[in-house]
Amino acid sequence: MGAHRNFSPCRVKGRSRAMGLRPSPRVVQFRRVAVTGIGLICSVGIGTDEVWQNVLSGKSGIGPITHFDTEEFSTKIAAEVKGFKPERYIARKDLKKMARFIQFGIAAADMAIEQSGFKVTRRNAERVGVCVGSGVGGVEIIEREYRTYLEKGPSRISAFFIPSIIVNLASGFISLRTGAMGPNLANATACTTGAHSLGDSFRLIQLGQVDAMICGGAEAGITPLMVGAFNAMRCLSKRNDCPQQACRPWDKDRDGFVIGEGAGILVLEEMEHAKRRGAKILAEMVGYAATSDAYHFTSPPQDGNGALRSMRNAVQDAGIELADIQYINAHATSTELGDRVESMAIESLFGEHAASLAVSSTKSTTGHLLGAAGALEAGLTVLGIQNQIAPPTVNFAVAGDRCNLDYVPGAARPMFIEHALSNSFGFGGTNASLVFRRFQ
């Protein structure tokens, strides 16, 4: 499909329709999009460099839950962010206005903006937007304030309750801090949130509506209600005695995902805009697609059709061939059905080329960040391209049923990566795939 696409206007103004005239199709030239900044926070580190090095080394961030007492829970492990000090990024007086997911989002945005060297000014503010989503928002505040209501009555509910919990306030606070006056958006599409945020931002830049976007996802869902609810759905690993081996994508002994927290924020810019200011370009974002399974509210179809169409459409959107992809950062969460279906979809779509692909799941070290997962993993995919190395899948010993690909087991792999694909799939049957290209 490439950079030039024909679109027929869906509405004809003036007398053209009445006269039976058909307007000529207009040619839209999509602008190129550069990645110039990455900010990552998760269980294996606070800061992009630390996260990247620990993911490469296969260091697991999974351990016993410390946020609450797990005595009555069947799952007692999670991928918590350790040592996060929000006051390093946010004034103490403002912290009470922000749930933990917002704090993660702000800190990761600061990191991404600092790396990019991009500055929002009065001259460019209206051409800069923010799109940072979350799957569950400020759930820990909801739990806390409901206890307050039950114990002390409605008059004691915090005045900051609403603004601290709603999903769009991560974007809102980042916009306030930076002065970005363009689109101020937030997706809430379960585990696909971060990828959709990046993809939608990519489109806004391509179409010329903005010149730069601060975008991604933030999540802090390690709470009693969330862990208890996922246990009720039988989604979580119960490998409490060896937490660092609990997340086992594609392995025959996988028993569920491990919930994580953190944020992934990227700065995307129109390519020429980035070049003019001398920015270091980490990679080029070249393709995006979103699909729906239209099948079941939590389970993917057995044939992986939604995932297949998402990957296929993203590759087509990038204007490349399937054989041009060298690496896939998979959604693979360590669930029995999800891992198998995604692997089968890759095999079905890529055919003979599937055997040449390196496919890994960085969730094996970071845990599953829910609404922030897609953005964190997109950032890791970009770093893989930049450094020409595929991060590993840890804890993979024996392949599960119909899991037949090269999952980069155990150790990171130096390799040539010109194009890479990053997948995210979520409850509700929502899917997204992103394609990045090496910048030369």
Low-confidence ranges of the chain (pLDDT < 70): 1-28
Residues 331 and 401 in one domain: yes
pLDDT reported for residue 111: 98
Which residue range forms the structural domain that includes residue 68? 34-276
Residues 193 and 293 in one domain: no
- Domain presence at residue 26: no
Domains held by the chain: number: 2
Residues 215 and 301 in one domain: no
- Domain presence at residue 23: no
pLDDT reported for residue 201: 98
pLDDT reported for residue 24: 52
Residue 191 falls in the annotated catalytic set: yes
Domain boundary among 219, 247, 276: 276
Residues 272 and 324 in one domain: no
Q: Give the pLDDT confidence of 218-242 residue by residue, as tens digits.
A: 999 999 999 999 999 999 999 999 9
- Domain presence at residue 20: no
CATH code at position 94: 3.40.47.10
How far is Cα 118 from Cα 410, in angstroms, rounded to an integer? Answer: 37
- Domain presence at residue 92: yes
Catalytic annotation, pick one of 131, 235, 273, 368: 368
Residues 262 and 330 in one domain: no
Domain boundary among 216, 251, 276: 276
pLDDT reported for residue 440: 85
Q: Give the pLDDT confidence of 372-401 residue by residue, as tens digits.
A: 999 999 999 999 999 999 999 999 999 999
Residues 144 and 216 in one domain: yes
Catalytic annotation, pick one of 196, 273, 331, 419: 331
Residue 331 falls in the annotated catalytic set: yes
Catalytic annotation, pick one of 191, 215, 235, 403: 191
